[in-house]
A and B are shown apart, each in its own frame.
Chain A
Amino acid sequence: MRVVIPSFGNKRYLSGFDWVMGVVDYILKRTTCAGNIFQLVFKLDSAVDPETVQSCLCRFIKEFPVLDGRVARDYNLAPYWQVPKKDKGNSLNFNSRRLENSSLHVNAWSLMEEWVNTPFKNENEHSAFHLLNTNGGESYFAMTFDHRLFDARGAESFAHLFQQYLTEDCNSNIGHVRVTASAELSQWADKFYAGKNVNRKIIALSKTSLRSLPVTTHCEAKKGFKFSLIGFDRQKTGEIYENAYEEAGYLMVMPYLLSVAIRAMHELFESRGLSADSYIIPVSVDMRSSQDIKQELFFNYASMFLFQIHVDMLNDKKALINEIKRQMYEQVQSSLPKNLLEASLLLRIAPLSLLRKIFLLPFGGKFASFYFSHIGKCSYQYPEIMGAKINNIFHMPRVPTPPGIGIFFNSFNGHLNAVISWLDGLVSDEEILALENSLRSGL
């Protein structure tokens, strides 16, 4: 019998994947300069008045006390997000800057890297907002979020809701956002069955040696992440999608982009002389439908595919694409993403420090070769924000470490972006340049 204990009052029960995001946060805080943070950046074609932004954000943020919550454990041992009362939250963390000199791009990029590498002030702060107006007329608006509270599409939807709130005075829309979830403390047989399937998959993956870059996981390595953005214009994006349809098949954009990313990363690993047998690439996948995203924008609704690619397959692009499609199909067929969600509910009983050790067991502390994601459709649907036209939207995620490096694709208004994110010092500037070139030429 299914017994549902729903969230109530100031409690929002955490899913297994929310708990996994908490483990990643724990690991990142201990091995790098900040936690599991990512940043959504709007590149705008005109300046925005900082005072207007601040007052708009202040009003909007006050509607969501969940933003100031913290993790706690219930009497039934299920972890939950403790939501403060509406008037008891933190003050808005907003800062604005103006760049005067001519090397705008370099300086703006350094600032954006600084923002996403800045830890939140305390355990109750999970968001920060930054505005950068430049002398050239452009501006950047960055929303920096705790990944425990938002996944990437949820953050885009939150930004969309913000603009909707400003333009349509839609207090009623805010009421549709769901901040409840079941404690999921029933149907244990299903969870253990899913856990058994996930275990089998992980054991199978760990049978071959895994290529990964050497990451220092000691506490003294309090490093930040660096980022590189490769933007494609509308015409090139159209060509990339046509290439994907031609080479991988209709709608097979993700397998196509992943094949290009694997081949580009392979060149990097080869240049390092690393000699293990295979690559393991976790690929995040959104489990919400396009309808759900309007209501379920807080917390995490993602799961993962786990791709294993043998090195000897990388010389033949067509064979590589077919292998990715085959593995994707088999993982959907065997419900791996759903099993991961179900099985991860069992992990919630364990403290984060213990889970950190468990996560590193199967692959000798390596876990993955690199991370990958592709968000096909942007959930932010307006052409402007706060009165300024949007030229681009891209993501800057700090990557779970290990592996400490990832390639993340997103698109906005017909433009595809690829962002490379890596732990400072893990790869050299020359290697990143070579990786960028490989991605560009491969697409």
Chain B
Amino acid sequence: MTVKDIENKLIKGIASITSKAESSIKADVPFHELGIDSLGFVEILVYVEKTFNLRLIDTDLSKKDFETIHSLASFIGKTL
């Protein structure tokens, strides 16, 4: 699976979690600018586990790896 494929799956999930249109979600915008808080972010991590079978809550959740959809997709791509 390419990083772009992962990004697209993440955008789909995040659109559902935030009740926003998929087209309004950009892969390079930080999550906090999308109005996502702790709860929303944990919902995204649960979605990642269901979709990619990866449990990320136990990792450090460093800003570098998790700040944007693109960086999260790259992290997932490397881990898969």
User: A and B: real partners?
Assistant: yes
- A residues with CB within 8 A of B: 245, 248-255, 285-286, 289-292, 322, 325-326, 328-329, 332-333, 374, 376-377
A249-B60, A250-B31, A326-B57 known; A285+B19 contact, CB < 8 A: no
Q: Is B74 an interface residue (CB 8 A)?
A: no
A409 to B62 Cα, complex, angstroms: 24
Q: Which residue of B lies closest to A329 (CB)?
A: B57
Q: Closest CB-CB distance, A318 to chain B, in whole Å?
A: 11
**What class of interface size applies to chain B in its complex with A?**
20 to 34
| A residues less than 8 Å from B61 (CB atoms) | 248-252
A332 to B41 Cα, complex, angstroms: 11
| Partner of B41 from A252, A286, A374 at Cβ < 8 Å | A252
A250-B62, A332-B46, A333-B46 known; A289+B19 contact, CB < 8 A: yes
User: A329–B45 contact, CB under 8 A?
Assistant: yes
A354 to B27 Cα, complex, angstroms: 51
Q: Is B18 an interface residue (CB 8 A)?
A: yes
| B residues less than 8 Å from A253 (CB atoms) | 37-38
> Could you tell me which residues of chain B, from 32 to 52, have a CB within 8 Å of some CB in chain A?
32, 35-43, 45-46, 49
Given contacts A250-B63, A333-B46, 11 further A-B contacts (CB under 8 A): A249-B62, A251-B32, A251-B61, A286-B39, A322-B58, A326-B58, A329-B46, A333-B49, A374-B38, A376-B38, A377-B37
A329-B57, A377-B35 known; A250+B41 contact, CB < 8 A: yes
User: B31–A251 contact, CB under 8 A?
Assistant: yes
| Partner of A290 from B35, B46, B58, B66 at Cβ < 8 Å | B35
Q: Is B4 an interface residue (CB 8 A)?
A: no
Q: Is B22 an interface residue (CB 8 A)?
A: no
| A residues less than 8 Å from B46 (CB atoms) | 329, 332-333
User: A292–B19 contact, CB under 8 A?
Assistant: yes
Q: Which residue of B lies closest to A291 (CB)?
A: B19
A289 to B67 Cα, complex, angstroms: 20
| Partner of A328 from B38, B58, B66 at Cβ < 8 Å | B38
Q: Show 20 A/B contacts (Cβ-Cβ < 8 Å), sorted by A.
A: A249-B66, A250-B66, A251-B31, A251-B37, A254-B37, A286-B39, A289-B18, A289-B19, A289-B35, A291-B18, A292-B19, A325-B42, A325-B57, A328-B38, A328-B39, A328-B42, A332-B42, A332-B43, A333-B46, A376-B37
Q: Which residue of A lies closest to B61 (CB)?
A: A249
Q: Which residue of A lies closest to B20 (CB)?
A: A291
A398 to B41 Cα, complex, angstroms: 29
Q: Closest CB-CB distance, B18 to chain A, in whole Å?
A: 6
A290-B18, A291-B20 known; A254+B35 contact, CB < 8 A: no
A289 to B37 Cα, complex, angstroms: 11
User: A255–B19 contact, CB under 8 A?
Assistant: no
| A residues less than 8 Å from B31 (CB atoms) | 250-251
A325 to B49 Cα, complex, angstroms: 15
User: A251–B38 contact, CB under 8 A?
Assistant: yes
| Partner of B39 from A245, A250, A285, A326 at Cβ < 8 Å | A285
A376 to B41 Cα, complex, angstroms: 13
User: B63–A245 contact, CB under 8 A?
Assistant: yes
Q: Which residue of A lies closest to B38 (CB)?
A: A254
| B residues less than 8 Å from A322 (CB atoms) | 58
| B residues less than 8 Å from A291 (CB atoms) | 18-20
| B residues less than 8 Å from A245 (CB atoms) | 63
A110 to B69 Cα, complex, angstroms: 48
Q: Which residue of B lies closest to A305 (CB)?
A: B39
| B residues less than 8 Å from A326 (CB atoms) | 57-58
> Could you tell me which residues of chain B, from 13 to 27, have a CB within 8 Å of some CB in chain A?
18-20
Q: Which residue of B lies closest to A258 (CB)?
A: B38
For the complex of A and B, the 10 pairs showing the least CB-CB separation, nearest first, are A249-B61, A254-B38, A289-B19, A290-B35, A251-B41, A329-B57, A376-B37, A250-B66, A250-B63, A332-B42
Q: Which residue of A lies closest to B41 (CB)?
A: A251
- Taking each of B18, B39, B49, which has the highest tally of chain A beta carbons within 10 Å of its own beta carbon? B39
| Partner of A252 from B38, B49, B67 at Cβ < 8 Å | B38
| A residues less than 8 Å from B40 (CB atoms) | 251
A329 to B58 Cα, complex, angstroms: 10
Q: Which residue of B lies closest to A247 (CB)?
A: B60
Q: Which residue of B lies closest to A257 (CB)?
A: B38
Q: Closest CB-CB distance, A399 to chain B, in whole Å?
A: 21
